[in-house]
Chain A
Amino acid sequence: MHYARRRLVNVAAQSLAVLCTVAVLIPLVLILGYLVAKGVTSLNLDFFTQLPKPVGEPGGGMANAIVGTLILIGLACAFAVPLGVLTGVYLSEYGHGRFGWSVRFCADVLTGVPSIVIAIYAYTLIVKPLHSFSAYAGGWALGVIMLPIVTRTAEEMVKLVPGSLREASLALGVPAWRTTLWVVLRTARGGIVTGIMLAVARIAGETAPLLFTAFGNQFWHHGLGGPISSLPVQIYTYAISPFDDWHRQAWAGALVLLALIAFTSLAVRLLTRGRLRPAL
């Protein structure tokens, strides 16, 4: 009797879990499917190699925007990854006091700041004094959005490293700083990389912080001190235009952006995973 009841409850709970998973997956699959269906027809080699054509002229591509997005993500990472990872290490290893608490609080608040506000901040800090929209300003804005995500994931991942490994290293006569860099960080590497890739995925699609920092550019950029094109801004511009041709290109751009993020995530994971095999 008890056993029968327990089995029933088990089946019910399991079905509910499966049902919820399916419910979550349906919109995801629909969006992906629609995106592929709409985007793939407008994709061709030109899309990856050509600059945008003026209105009315058919063809053209988003080569500048693809490169621009990669540059902006690179700039954001160059600033947010070292700063975020080291802050995370600090918070986990030493941030037990009031200062650590404040940093953690600020990071959490920063996560909730609307990206448009961060754009205004980058505009005031970089665009205004330099009198020019620039890749630097765009990268900075994206980096600021990444920073708290990287910091908090790095902190959590470093916390998961067992204390026994730190002790093992210290007991070998290894100084604390080397222990942190070569034992603790190395052990937490997988989790930290995942956190960074999540942060990259988050910023890669951001449009608002780029509107008046990187601005956008229908041509190739001239150095990082000037306006630069990016996929999200290009998609936005094309999507709100009245031209069917541009709409098609916007779909293709969205598809490319998605694929770009998927491939970088995959590549980074493959490159940073451990290469150790188990013993025979």
Chain B
Amino acid sequence: MDTKLDVISLHAWFGTHHVLQDITLKMPERAVTAIIGPSGCGKSTLIRCLNRMHEVVPGARASGKVLLDGEDIYAPGVDPVQVRAKVGMVFQRPNPFPTMSVFDNVAAGLRLNGVRRSRRELAAVVEHSLRQAALWDEVKDSLRASGVSLSGGQQQRLCIARALAVEPEVILMDEPCSALDPIATAHVEDLIHELKEHYTIVIVTHNMQQAARVSDLTAFMYLGSLVESGPTERIFTTPEKKETEDYITGRFG
């Protein structure tokens, strides 16, 4: 598998607080990489560094390299807006735009980016994205309804469809199921399986069973450092480091 994202000696700070220390990690193309670790270990910060969302927080900065298809997204002159169009993100809590309909939510990325498209092209993109997000059959008759009136699980899939509509290459998911019930979680996990045919997926999760179920590669982080990474099966059966074993067997965390 080719490497899609190559993180090299990445450090990140919030003010003077050094939250990521020297992270080096390769994420393969068209595969799911899971990042696990206890709360506050820096896993969310790590994926927010992958599409330059980390620096949106006042006082936050990062150093090091993140190569996307071999090109450093932190190189001088790189526009973070362009990076984010290629590396989409789904957040912990579903956050559809409350003033927009289901249709407009999915079309938002294209419209707000000033891409001019005919009504018909837009409708095609919206339908395709909603189908990819396994939501089309549930909302096809209420595209004009408010996005926030859907159930939590549907809202999260709406957010996934919204991210897919701008045709990213990578999708980052920051604990996408932590606000969902088990059924909605199963929906999203099935979806991740289908999406990895076309996209590179990086998912942060608290839930180790989830990491085991959906991912091909797993990286374990602790206290801002990467402890160990490798094929999911190996990490969960024969971890090399003691911290990893303690965490996945539930001895701490």
Contact = CB atoms under 8 A, between A and B. Distances in A.
A165 interface: yes
Contact of B97 (A171, A187, A280): A187
B146 A172 contact: no
Interface string A131-174: 00000000000000000000000000000001011111111111
Given A169-B112, A187-B98, A189-B99, A279 B91 contact: no
B56 interface: yes
B112 A174 contact: yes
B145 interface: yes
Interface in B70-108: 81-86, 88-89, 91, 93, 95-102, 108
Contacts of A174: 81, 108-109, 112-113
Contacts of B141: 280
A179 interface: yes
B204 to A, nearest CB: 14
Size class of the contact patch on chain B: 35 or more
Contacts, number: 99
Contacts of A168: 91, 95-97, 159, 162
Main secondary structure of the interface of A (DSSP, over half): helix
A168 B174 CA distance: 12
A165 B20 CA distance: 25
B90 to A, nearest CB: 8
22 contacts: A164-B95, A165-B98, A167-B53, A167-B89, A168-B91, A169-B97, A172-B85, A172-B112, A173-B109, A174-B81, A178-B112, A179-B112, A183-B97, A183-B108, A186-B97, A186-B99, A274-B146, A276-B100, A276-B144, A278-B145, A279-B102, A280-B142
Interface of A: 96, 162, 164-175, 178-179, 182-183, 186-187, 189, 274, 276-280
